[in-house]
Structure 1
Amino acid sequence: MHAWPASEVPALPGKGRDLRIHDTATGGLVTLDPGPVARIYVCGITPYDATHMGHAATYNAFDLVQRVWLDTKRQVHYVQNVTDVDDPLLERANRDGKDWVELAEGETALFREDMTALRLLPPKHYIGAVEAIPGIVPLVERLRDMGAAYELEGDIYFSVESDAHFGEVSGLDTAAMKLLSAERGGDPERVGKKNPLDPMLWMAARDGEPSWDGGSLGRGRPGWHIECVAIALDHLGMGFDVQGGGSDLAFPHHEMGASHAQALTGEYPFAKAYVHAGMVGLDGAKMSKSKGNLVFVSQLRRDGVDPAAIRLALLAHHYRADWEWTDAVLAEAVERLGRWRAAVSRPDGPSAEALVEEIREALANDLDAPAALAAVDRWAARQGADGGADEGAPGVVSRAVDALLGVAL
């Protein structure tokens, strides 16, 4: 599966700072110190509907991670998946009378268009669940053969008790885990499971649903968590730098994925940091496909909204915060974009060297994009008030905003 085209990232003078970021597993800030190549895995979409602002906010956050790393002169090895076969996708296809493959391909194509418009840097490897099945089957067989998985009426389940570190990613107690498991695709009430929290690794073929040859597992399709584990291990290996996604993925998805990988390899940890973006709401509730309270990136673009303004609206909120999308949020972003473009359109202006360092420091401090935006606001206000004699300053600001914030002025 192909990703989307990359926008050019301008090179800036000097060198950025190492990233301090909030790690869900430890509950505090950690300073990431990757080698020459930083490794990041971000969980992708289930393509049964268009990209909404919640998706955009999450992927924007991890685009900032990449930009901070690139500014430290590192290479970035970024991997993202597409869950192109799963219950929600099949249910939507049945509801709308569409072929599930056609639905997945169409929505994935629209996602690529949205990511290109927002100038989010693409993954090096963009892998669909279906194409990953040949690599998933041997992992499930290995877990079963080593006693970390078991069969129940043809389905294969992972035993959470096989990983001594289970629970360390989310830090939740058993009661909270059971509740979230039921809400987020698990089946804690199924009779016969060794532990109610045990997640499915391989679902035996069901009538009327797609299935694949699973070797000794029989025909079926993979569970949600093992999909990402297989892709991450194949392309990044154990101990990569950041596992990312929305805060609703901390449990069960990232918790289970870590345990799968740690049981398979006997190594710890799966990822050095687990980083989670907040939820975007609309009309008082989390924006979600199940609720239907969605603002789509593609619709805003069709309505003539500049993608740079959409991106500024996202950047105005700290990535870990839960926030509400409103018309006022977008209006403020459109106004800010206009002020910034007017400021950099002048032939000279106040010196920009300190501004570049302010942006760098803000982003290195747990991706504090609102502080970075405020710094640019102050420079733009000075440009309007007293100008300046630095002929190169507007160009420096334009390149810095592009390179570090992904906004083209």
Structure 2
Amino acid sequence: MPDTEDERIGARIASFRKLSGYTQQQFADVAQLSLGAVRKVERGERLPTHAYLIASARVLRASVEELQGQPYKGESETEQRVHAPIQGIRRAVRRYDLPSDIYSQPRAFHLLRADVKAAAEHRKAARYARLGVLLPGLLEELTAAVHLGEGKSRRQAAAGLLASSFYMAHGLALRLGYPDLIGQLEDRMRWAANLSGDPLMSALAEWTHSYSFDTHGDYEGGLRVLRAAREDLEGDDSVRGLARITMLGSLRLRESTIAALSQDPDLAAEHIKEAARLAKGIPDGRDRLHHHMTFGPANVRVHEVAAQVELKRPEEAVKRAAGVRFPADMARTRQGHHYVAVARAHLDLDQRDEALKYLKRARAVAPEQTRFHPVARETARMLTGKYRRATEDLRTLTHWLGVQA
């Protein structure tokens, strides 16, 4: 069912502001925002930046997800299927450290490993509903395997698969907008990664943990977490080859993102430069996938674009996006997120047709991700308000997203 005018992000922020007793001027002063920006966001004339959302959430004592109206549950069968597994994931997270006699014997290890591999393919393709079907049972069975496994090596292997499953559950909770669950999943993933004895899995756990920092505007904390993980991996001689390059490069790219969010262009550029240097160590120049992380020249270019968007340089973002070419096997989640970012840049430049074109690309390559993406939804809503007469393509897209101007 389409949402209402009050579901615009700007309108939601205005509602929270009024309930908190602030005038627009008072809110702008306390949040250290310009009055003009406050007025434009609340009227739906400008997309709020990440920094704007963080500042608003801090002053209004709300979460960013609340201000964005997440989770978007709607009433369609598809939306209900995507959200249905969350309670099962919560149960598994809650019961991770119960006494071992509470757990049932899990299936054979090779069957669990096959299901984790299938879940990873669903995650990579942004098939959230199908991913959610697998995750609750996998989390419970792999937790049992960690507690009941015979021998250290078998328990470590089960812990590695469990950490991987917690990572995928974290991604689902993050995309759907469940902030309370995100932090719990990060803690459980770090616990399982430590048990696995795998330095790459531990690095991935810290990469994931950084999200709890940037979603609260603690950019310094997030960067420290990532730097520590990168330095640990750099000093570990047991990890070599392309897997090591992929994880180190992914940590650098995540650092570039947080640096851009913190409005530090020099630091963002430094991390991009170091990531590009690492990418040159990939023999055929083709992006690699290890421990869920995709890294290589294409992903470096994608992050260059994303950094320019977050640094409020839409002209530069659009310019750099023109040179991005995705390999056939690039994760659909990465492609979809890129197309939404480029659509946002075109919207900032008032290039409406181009913004719509990139939103359509995002829908084509990663439909479930795009449907639940706050920036995609708000960009489509703002486009509806900017067109004197909405095109059929735009009406189709906004109806599919369930949004209106």
TM range (shorter): under 0.3
TM-score under structure 1 normalisation? Answer: 0.26
Greater helix percent: which structure? 2
Structure whose alpha-carbon radius of gyration is higher: 1
TM-score, normalised on structure 2?
A: 0.26
- Greater length-normalized contact order (CA 8 Å, ≥ 6 residues apart): 1
